[in-house]
Structure 1
C-alpha cells in the first residue's frame, strides 16, 4: 500500500510519472447502476433483477468517515466505517451475487446525506492525514467485501473545494494505481454548496473518474423532457469529456420520472450516442414496486434503437 506520509512535491512527482498509466474504464452504453443498503430495509442483492445483457453495478451505501456509535457520531478524519445494511449485504453476499451474475460488479459509495440523522460532513483535519487514513481504512473494507469500485457522494462540506479536490483526487489515484479498485465515480448534483467541490475535483483529477452519477432526481418534481435534456447538456459541459449517467429516484424525489418522459429522453440521447448508462436511487425504495423500473431500465439499455 502506498504511504501518503509524503511531501507534496514527492506526491506530485509520483502522480505525473505514474498517472499516465491509469486508464479510464471503457465506455459501455449498456451500463446500469443501483445504490443499495442505505435505508436498512432488508433488501438483498438477489432480490434485484439483473439482466445478463447489461453491465450491472451495485453501489453499497454508505461508507462514512464517522464513528459508528449510535449517539452523536463524529468525524474521524478519513477513518471509514461501514454504515450500509451489514446484516443483509455481507462480504459473502457480495461474492455470491458476483458468482451468480458474471456481469455484476459491486462498489461502495462514500459520504451520503446523513449519519445518525445529522448531516454527514466532509471534514478533514489536513489533506495528508485524511488521505493517509482514507487509503488505509478503505483498502481494508474493499478487500474484506471483495469490491470492485468506489463512488464519491459527499453532499455536505466543512472545507473548501480545493481541499476536497486534493483529498478525493489523491485517494482515487492511490486506489487505482495500486489496483485496489478498477473503476471510480462521483455523484454530484446542481447545488451551489455542492457542485463547486465536484467541479474542482473534476478540473484537477477528472482523468481518474470513470463515471459521473449525476443526481438528476435532485431537480424539481415535474421536470419535463425538454428541461431534462437541457440539464443533461449543461452537466455534460460542466464535466466535459465525462461519461454522464442519467438517473431517477424511486423514493418519490424530483426530476424527470419514468412515467413522464424519462425513457423518451433516454431514447433521444441514445440515438445521439450520448447515453452512457442509467442509475437508480435506490434498491431500498424500489422493492415496494417489485423493481419494475430496474427491469424497464435494463431492458431499454439492452434494446436496439
Structure 2
C-alpha cells in the first residue's frame, strides 16, 4: 500500500474513533419544564464534550385546565418564550458541540398525569410522526427523548407506537439521535423493557432516572443500580443522573461525583444528565460545571 493510502486510512480510523468517543462523552440537561425563565445561554457549556439540551416537554394532550389526550397530536408545553426556534439556532451556531432535542410525555400537565394513550397503533403513529416532524423542523431540533411515566396502554402497544415513531423519524432523517428515560418502577420498566426488546436498536442513550431512587442512596448502592440497569438495557449507553430539585437519588453533595469517578476509572461512564436547568438556575449551575469538567477528563 502506498504511503498516501496508509496516511488516508489512519485519518479515517482516527476520525471514526473520535466520532465514537464524542458520542459516548455526553452531558445532557432537561430544560424549560418549570417556566423559570432559563435560557440556553444561561447554562455553562464545556467545549470539549458533546452537550445536549432536551426541551421539556412536547405532550400529546390538549392545553387548558382540563387537558385530554389527543392520540399522538403533540403540542409544545415548554417555556417557548425563552426557548424559541431562534434561540435554538443561536446556541447551536455559537457552540458547534451543542445539540438540542425534545422530550415527549413527562409526568403531568396541569396537575393531571400524562398517560400514554393510543386509540390505535396506526392512528397514533401517523399523528405523532406528522405533529412531531412539524415541531422538530420548526425548532431545528436534532433528536427525541421518550419520557412517558404513566400508561393507558399495554407494554406491547406502547412499544409498537414509540418504536415505529422513532424508526420513521430516523429513516426520514428528521432526527439523528433518540433516547429513553425510564426509572425503577414496575409498570414503567415493563413498558420500556418491551420497547427495548423490540426496538432497542433505534435508541442510543438511556437517560435512566437514578434520582427516582431513595434519597438515602449510597455510592455503593448507586453503582449496583447502574450495573443492574446496564444489564436491563444491554447495548444502550446508560447515562448516570442527578437532580437539582427535591427528588431523591445520590446527590452531588453526597457522593455522586465519587461514583462517577469510579465508573470513569472502569471506562463505564457514558455521560451524565441532569434534571433540570430550571432548578439549577438558582445555584448558578454549580453542579453542571462540575459534571462537565469531569466528563471532559473522561
* Superposition TM-score, scaled by structure 2 size: 0.92
Q: Is the 8 A contact 1:225 1:261 kept in 2?
A: yes
How big is the shift at 1:158? Answer: 0.4
How big is the shift at 1:30? Answer: 2.2
Structure 2 unaligned runs (5+)? Answer: 1-18
Please name the residue that 1:297 is paired with: 291
In structure 2, what is the Cα distance between the partners aligned to 1:278 and 1:108?
A: 17
In structure 2, what is the Cα distance between the partners aligned to 1:240 and 1:189?
A: 15
The structure 2 residue matched to 1:225, chosen from 211, 219, 222, is 219
Structure 1 residues 25 and 62, CA gap change in structure 2 (3 angstroms): farther
In structure 1, what is the Cα distance between the partners aligned to 2:33 and 2:143?
A: 17
Q: Is the 8 A contact 1:250 1:281 kept in 2?
A: yes
How big is the shift at 1:58? Answer: 0.2
In structure 1, what is the Cα distance between the partners aligned to 2:20 and 2:138?
A: 23
Please name the residue that 1:34 is paired with: 29
**Superposition pairs for residues 107-256 of structure 1, below 5 Å?**
107-256=101-250
In structure 1, what is the Cα distance between the partners aligned to 2:62 and 2:40?
A: 26
The structure 2 residue matched to 1:92, chosen from 86, 95, 110, is 86
Match status 1:51 vs 2:12 = no
In structure 2, what is the Cα distance between the partners aligned to 1:64 and 1:295?
A: 30
Q: Deviations over 1:208-262 (max 9, x none)?
A: 0010000000000010000000000000111011100000000021001111111
Q: Deviations over 1:3-26 (max 9, x none)?
A: xxxxxxxxxxxxxxxxxxxxx987
Query: What secondary structure, in the 3-state scheme, does the structure 2 residue paired with 1:79 have?
Result: coil
Query: What secondary structure, in the 3-state scheme, does the structure 1 residue paired with 2:156 have?
Result: helix
How big is the shift at 1:193? Answer: 1.7
In structure 2, what is the Cα distance between the partners aligned to 1:66 and 1:175?
A: 20
Match status 1:77 vs 2:71 = yes
CA RMSD of aligned residues (A): 1.2
Query: Which runs of 4 or more aligned residues in structure 1 lie more than 3 Å from their structure 2 counterparts after TM superposition?
Result: 24-29
Q: Deviations over 1:78-131 (max 9, x none)?
A: 000000001100000000000111100000000000011110110000000000
The structure 2 residue matched to 1:63, chosen from 42, 58, 64, is 58
Query: What secondary structure, in the 3-state scheme, does the structure 1 residue paired with 2:197 have?
Result: helix
In structure 1, what is the Cα distance between the partners aligned to 2:203 and 2:239?
A: 13
Query: What secondary structure, in the 3-state scheme, does the structure 2 residue paired with 1:63 have?
Result: strand
Query: What secondary structure, in the 3-state scheme, does the structure 1 residue paired with 2:144 have?
Result: strand
The structure 1 residue matched to 2:97, chosen from 81, 103, 108, is 103
More helix by share: 2
Query: What secondary structure, in the 3-state scheme, does the structure 1 residue paired with 2:101 have?
Result: strand
How big is the shift at 1:27? Answer: 6.2
Query: What secondary structure, in the 3-state scheme, does the structure 2 residue paired with 1:244 have?
Result: strand
How big is the shift at 1:28? Answer: 3.2
Structure 1 residues 293 and 104, CA gap change in structure 2 (3 angstroms): same
How big is the shift at 1:29? Answer: 3.7
Q: Is the 8 A contact 1:28 1:277 kept in 2?
A: no
Structure 1 unaligned runs (5+)? Answer: 1-23
* Superposition TM-score, scaled by structure 1 size: 0.90
In structure 2, what is the Cα distance between the partners aligned to 1:37 and 1:183?
A: 20
Q: Is the 8 A contact 1:29 1:301 kept in 2?
A: no
In structure 1, what is the Cα distance between the partners aligned to 2:32 and 2:162?
A: 23
